[in-house]
Amino acid sequence: MVVMHDARRRARRLVTVAAAALLPTVALPVTPARAATACTVNGVPARGPFVAGTERGDLIVCDAVDGGTVVDARGGDDTVILDGVVRGRVRAGSGDDRVTLGPAGVVEPGASVDAQRDDDTVDIAGVVRGDIDGGAQNDALTLRATARVEVSGAVLGAAGNDLLRAEPGPHPYAGRADGGPGADLVDLRTTLAPTARALGGNDFLHAHVAFALTDGGPGFDICRVDAGNRPAACEL
Ligand SMILES: [Ca+2]
Ligand SMILES: [Ca+2]
Ligand SMILES: [Ca+2]
């Protein structure tokens, strides 16, 4: 029996070697190298997979956040600057934080940037394909003229009375803009692409040109659309 098994194993090995020899020598497509996490925390380089601030106010700057990485500024009033591709998760923690997605910043699908608790300021000048969230309490989220929110992207006020404003720019807003619970001011001074969804709770909703759905949703909503599709579910 042992001899039989050995013979079979040897035969199998021979077949494997032969198959490998027959493989064409064409170059297989190479997936582009992903940038490894590259951040600094108060000037000290940090490479992940967990980039942590302290319970005090920190300055965290990232040129790349890889898919397996969590960046957590923790407590304190932190400044978080994202100036490259974000594939992982970024959290600003409690405290009144300032989170910036610079012009070279990209939040990829599945990635998230969450300012979390307290009154945060979120400034967006880059590309949004994932989620950017103000977190609980009263946040101010501003999309600069260079910002581009694609169909998979979402900018969310979440709980609290939030201000979500988009400055006029060349890229139509194609994703979701949602004040979430609370009395929000959603002021989109840009064009909404047909794929866009502008939603509110008890809100003031404004869209400059809407080829999309502007939906007051439940609650008392005041809606203004300068041109394009009329808003839905608005009380005023
Ligand atoms: Ca901190
Ligand atoms: Ca916060
Ligand atoms: Ca809200």
Residue 209: the pLDDT is 82
Residue 33: the pLDDT is 58
Instruction: Encode 117-137 in three state secondary structure.
Output: CCCCEEEECCEECCEEECCCC
Closest ligand to 77 CA?
1
**Distance of CA 169 from the midpoint of ligand 2 (Å):** 27
Domain boundaries, the chain: 34-228
> What count of other Cβ atoms lies within 10 Å of the Cβ of residue 227?
10
Per-residue pLDDT of the chain (236 residues), as tens digits, is: 445 455 555 555 544 444 444 444 555 555 555 679 999 999 999 998 999 999 999 999 999 999 999 999 999 999 999 999 999 999 999 999 999 999 999 999 999 999 999 999 999 999 999 999 999 999 999 999 999 999 999 999 999 999 999 999 999 999 999 999 999 999 999 999 999 988 876 678 888 888 777 787 777 788 888 888 888 878 88
* Residue in 220, 160, 147, 151 with CA at minimum distance from that of residue 188: 147
In the CATH scheme, what architecture does the domain 34-228 have? 3 Solenoid (2.160)
Ligand 3 ion local residues (Cβ < 5 A): 157, 162, 179-180, 182, 184
40 token code pair:
């600094």
**Distance of CA 165 from the midpoint of ligand 3 (Å):** 13
Strand partners for 71: 51, 90
pTM of the model: 0.83
